[in-house]
Chains A and B, each alone.
Chain A
Amino acid sequence: MIIPDYALMQAVFLPLLLSPVAYVLGRKAGPTVAMWFTFAVLLYSTVLVVSAALAEDVTEEHYPWTEMFGEFGFLMDGLASPFAIVIYVLSTILALYSKPYMIHKFKEQFKEEGRSEQGGVEASVSSSTSSTSSTPAAATATAESHETSAALNSYVNAKSGLYFALYLVFAMGMLGTVLATNLIEFYIFFEVMLIPGFFLVALWGDGPRRKIGLMFLLWTHAGAVVLLLGFLMIGLTVGSFDFADIDESVLPPDIALLSGVAITIGLGVKLAVFMFHIWLPYVHGSAPTPISALLSPAMIGIGAYGIFRLVVELLPATYSELSIWLHVWGLVTMIYGGAMALMQDDLKRLLAYSSISQMGYLLFGIGSVSVLGLSGAEMMYVTHGLGKGLLFMTAGIIIVRVGTRSISKLGGLAGKMPITAVCAVIGALTIMGVPPTSGFMGEWILFYGALETAVAEDSMLRTVTFALGLLATALTMSYMLWMLKRVFFGKLPERLSNVREGSWYMTAPMMVLAGFTIVLGIYPDIFLETIVPYMEWVLPATGGGDGMAAMAAAGGGGP
């Protein structure tokens, strides 16, 4: 396949440059045109990314930047390509899904604003969602007078323009982060994805959305600042911010350790690991669902990407020192997130806690100093992206069609929305790690890595974490199955008797993802082919696959 020149540059910057167009199109021509435009832009960019990934093992582009920071580059190697592909595939698919969901949301807000103007009473969002639960917003909207509907149309057009513009910038920020080749560039993209994220939550979230938006901005920005401190420590000591120039042996050990810790903590906030997870349930719960479906599967995992690229690759000695802490921290996050997910009644909050737990798996895998453990962790990112994407989309359909997200008010929906139910089950299986979904492929490779190191180091602690980690998968299964049971099975409450299946804009993207997770589960080579060689390169001390050799080598690799 021929890759166009500047493929990665285009893939990253085209969405940014064209976002004003999306805004204008939305204003002038309405949400459908804006949606298809966004879809087309992202599809083109996705094709660029995928073809670049297929064409060569490593695709690099370098552009001159400032003297001070070094060069502005894009690098897509075995590590970055799965992240990049998942991010853009999800973004593209969710653009379609956004339309019905966001129109529903805009209409709701229009009514709410109208009501607060007339009555002068601030109607809380939660009461307005419950009031629409019996009658879908679309039905009431048609009943309103002609004047209001014209006003509503222009309102929806304006808002959808803004939405899709922000959406494009958000997607581009994520991709930029995983392709960056320079510390400062990484930081800039890292913050760029935060800003549209903040607006998307603050403008169209549920509940006290401004407060939650601010919380999102504040916590992740605080994390980013710590990250920046780590970057500056490294960059100023080395004298260059380019990844390629950074050599750990140049750094004094304490600086390396300190910056390693700073970077890990900074990224840990994004990853929402235990104790830093505070912002995540609020933000994922509140964000408009297509954005939740991007935040949770695609965005927070970028924290893990950061740890791979910046700690594992750039600071290997520090990594091997920190690894056991990451391992245990991951385990705690896994169990804690799972236990909290059991306690949730809000469907989206449950999924949010589940994401925390899944990020624990990623961190757990990163903490296993083993080729397959690291590969498994990256597979878990892919698989979590697909599975959690599916589940958040399910939640969105339920919000649109049923009007509530409280699990205790749901039940028996499988008969009413079969496609959604099937996709939700596939998503849940992916998260639970049941074959033939991709979840299993991630999981066994991940746990194999953990076991490999535990045996090689003959470490009691690692053996215990391995066992507990495996048992935590039963916990994951429990909360997922219980959620499915309460939402889709059991008796159908009477007021849900005329709930309908979601529109094709919503179900078709889900079916694509569901198909993808099964294909990947049976044929994981699609990603493993690139991931494993990269991980072998990063951890040269250990040979993948062959147990004996790995054991012998890893024995000396420990701190």
Chain B
Amino acid sequence: MASESAAAASFLPPIDAVPEAAWLVWVIPFAAALIMPAIGRASHRVTGYAAVGFALMSALSAFSLLPMALAGGEIHDQIMWIEAIGLKAGVLADPLSVIMANVVAWISFLIMIYSTGYMKGDRSVVRFWFWMLFFIGSMQLIVLSDNLLQVFFGWEGVGLASYALISFWYRDKKKDHVGQEDRRVLGLMDYYAPTHAGMKAFIMTKVGDVMMIAGMLLIFLYAGTFGFKELVGDTAWAVEMSAQGLLVPAFVLLFGGAIGKSAQFPLNEWLLEAMTGPTAVSALIHAATMVKAGVFLVARLGPIVFALGAAGILADQFFEIVAWVGAITALLLATQGMTNPEIKKVLAYSTGSQIGYMMMALGVAGLSYQYVDGYTAGFFHLISHAMFKASLFMAAGSLLHVVGSRFMTDMGGLRKHMKKTYAFMWAAGLGLMGAPFITTGFWSKDAIFAAVYESGSEWALPLYVIAVLTAVITAFYTTRMIGMVFFGPKSEHVQKMEEEGHRVHEASVSMWVPYGILAALTIGLGIIGLSAEEGLHHLFEVYLAESFGIHGAEKGTEMASILPGFLQGLNPVALGSSLAAFATGIGLGYVFYIGRHADPAKFVNSNIFFYAIHKVILNRWYLNAIIYWCFVVAPLWLARGVSRYFEKTAIDYGMNNGLQKAVGWSAKVVQGTQTGVSQSYLFVFGAGLLFVVLMLMM
């Protein structure tokens, strides 16, 4: 796997990797996708094995790059692409992209294995495999490209693949919808068909992409290149842009693309409806591809911007915006995770919220003296989140498969019947909650807390409060989810199922093994989490210094630590609040949903204040409804008005008939003048002559 060996970075001798491997990582999935329809003529089983095999091949080529990258090496390989404009295509395999590529590749590989079980019996598996491979290929293209234009190809590729996979069940059957049929928010339905959801995702992320392309073009205009290496190499473009006041806007526009793809506020709403896709797709979108693309982009661009600081060009606003967008999203989506009854949606909210953490860390990094602290924290959280979230989603998929409902209220009391899923879900769930000392989630979250706390930015305190509050909520909703699914009495739905003779049973082997592995890794890596993080930290320190010239400020005097030996180097405040947040969240969750000592419904209805808050949160802070009113309902209404009162009247009727009338009328006028009376002709002639004479005299 990707990160555990990071600790060993400095011990490995430099190893050469072949540049072709970096190309193959993304070329293999694309090529495999293209031949899928041909393989699909064989049996479904063969198709599945082939798809998994290709994913493995891609993962292996990514793996072959790992030793080189962990030793701090780098591959940069280019070919001519668009000669007319002098653009090159290329791959850039540096520590950042290679680690990311391995995370993507291996998690995708496990999800592919899971899919062979999950999609069994579906008629359209060929289409499924095509898009899954296309998805992986696009993501790897984003990760390994050496220039923005090529990144954009992958960027739109993941958008396209998500569109196709979210609306995979395009027949819009009732069971594939998300939301509750009878709910209305501000007069709009909160109930979405798969095809609607796919369209929503594609268009909403397109809004981000529009910003991104504007940013890309601005940079290209000044730098004359899209290449990351070239942008770092010569910073004349940045000086020029900064003088024109365009540097921060350009990068903020680029960040707009990340906001769209990573479902950050205010473009977060597509992520929930994306749950209409098969669960394997949700796992892929949330853990390995798509939403991580935005974080990766910020990780790619952040050092470039930060390194400009050495040249005296400050772009603090960029980092402030990144940090705040992340913080707002983290809190906003976490709160919604507390109220939603659909298991996949809870996980989706959680993803958005966790991505918010990563953005916050990457943003805060740029505001602090130790860029590498926040940078490592954000990226480490990306890795640990990828593991536990993929595991949670796949487990949720098993539950959906077994119970046949997406509502947690239709589950309950499943722990005796699905022991493995139960255990794995706890393990991965503890990772999400940040259970102290044994999970990766704890270490990465703690690193983020510490980075925010120590940043020395003027925003450190509010950001820190938000981060801790979000952690409390995270622990609460995760416990709630596990409690609702596995504890308490069996729901009516499950009882009815059992009466009808459907026994609740464990998922098949090909399904539970992948999420079992990831759940085990969450804990296993968690135990060595601190040293893994330190390894990554060291690797990035070298990487940032060598590639971007970013050197951390000298550490001040080490704080006299009150912590025991094995926690040396941790920030005690961050550690304390992390522990407190976890305890509070899980405690509250236990009271309401596991121990069931209090009834959450009664609690919410106990006074008007709680009721109002609950309602606002349940209605998604009204954000979705407002977006629909402003950007769907109103424009359609406007277009209808223009169509009815301008296009159909002024243009169609007015101009067309107007022309006919005008021709008819002019014929009449001409006809009218042909009176045949010589006197009137003479009169007109005389008047004309007089006019001409007068004109000449003037």
A interface, CB within 8 angstroms of B: 215, 218, 275, 277-278, 336, 339-340, 342-343, 372, 375, 412, 414-415, 429, 434-436, 440, 444-445, 447-448, 451-452, 455, 466-467, 470-471, 473-474, 477-478, 481-482, 485, 488-492, 524-525, 528-529, 531-533, 544-548, 551
Contact = CB atoms under 8 A, between A and B. Distances in A.
B167 A339 contact: no
Given A340-B642, A531-B84, 4 more contacts: A481-B203, A482-B199, A489-B170, A548-B224
A435 B153 contact: yes
B605 interface: no
A346 to B, nearest CB: 13
B655 interface: yes
Interface stretch (B179-187, B213-221, B287-295, B373-381): B213-221
Given A474-B203, A545-B86, A490 B222 contact: no
B636 interface: yes
Interface string B63-90: 0000000000000000000111110000
Contacts of A546: 224
Interface string B606-642: 0000000000000000000000000000011011101
Contact of B171 (A278, A477, A492): A492
A492 B195 CA distance: 13
Contacts of A529: 83-84
A477 B202 contact: yes
Nearest to B659: A218
Given A436-B157, A529-B83, A491 B217 contact: no
B171 A547 contact: no
14 contacts: A343-B643, A412-B171, A434-B159, A435-B156, A440-B153, A444-B213, A477-B202, A485-B199, A489-B172, A490-B171, A524-B82, A525-B82, A525-B84, A528-B84
A139 B98 CA distance: 60
Contact of A340 (B160, B217, B643, B659): B643
Given A435-B156, A444-B213, A482-B199, A547 B193 contact: no
Shortest 3 CB-CB contacts between residues of A and residues of B: A528-B84, A489-B170, A339-B639
A525 B83 contact: yes
A452 B244 CA distance: 14
Contacts of A489: 167, 170-172, 195
A466 B217 CA distance: 11
Nearest to A467: B214
B636 A429 contact: no
Given A447-B213, A524-B82, A544-B85, A429 B193 contact: no
Contact of A278 (B195, B224, B651): B651
B171 A339 contact: no
A477 B222 contact: no
B162 to A, nearest CB: 12
A436 B195 CA distance: 22
Contact of A415 (B82, B171, B213): B171
Contact of B160 (A429, A471, A488, A532): A429
B206 interface: yes
A440 B159 CA distance: 14
Contacts of A440: 153, 156
Contacts of A429: 160
Contacts of A524: 82, 84
Contacts of B222: 547-548
B210 A532 contact: no
Contacts of B159: 434
A477 B157 CA distance: 15
Given A415-B171, A490-B171, A547-B221, A485 B195 contact: yes
B647 interface: yes
B652 A451 contact: no
A474 B210 CA distance: 8
Contact of A545 (B85, B157, B240, B643): B85
B5 interface: no
Contacts of B152: 435, 444
Contacts of B214: 447, 451, 466-467, 470
A491 B8 CA distance: 55
Contacts of B652: 278
Contacts of B84: 375, 524-525, 528-529, 531-533
Contacts of B213: 444, 447, 470
Nearest to B173: A491
Nearest to A526: B84
A514 to B, nearest CB: 13
A438 B559 CA distance: 59
Contacts of A545: 85-86, 224
B640 A343 contact: yes
Most buried by B among A467, A525, A529, A551: A525
Nearest to B663: A218
A448 B87 CA distance: 14
A490 B159 CA distance: 20
B261 interface: no
Interface string B231-247: 00000000010001000
Contacts of B203: 474, 477-478, 481
A451 B171 contact: no
A444 to B, nearest CB: 6
B157 A435 contact: yes
A481 B199 contact: yes
B160 to A, nearest CB: 6
A547 B651 contact: no
A550 to B, nearest CB: 8
B445 interface: no
B223 interface: yes
Nearest to A425: B164
Contacts of B221: 448, 451-452, 455, 547, 551
B85 A490 contact: no
A528 B85 contact: yes
Nearest to B636: A342
B655 A490 contact: no
B655 A278 contact: yes
Contacts of A375: 84
A338 to B, nearest CB: 9
Contacts of B655: 278
Interface in B242-286: 244
A470 B159 CA distance: 17
Contacts of B642: 336, 339-340
B206 A473 contact: yes
B465 interface: no
Contacts of A455: 218, 221, 244
Contacts of B86: 545
Nearest to B159: A434
Nearest to A441: B82
Contacts of B167: 489
A525 B84 CA distance: 6
Interface in B191-217: 193, 195-196, 199, 202-203, 206-207, 210, 213-214, 216-217
A483 B160 CA distance: 16
Nearest to A412: B171
B508 interface: no
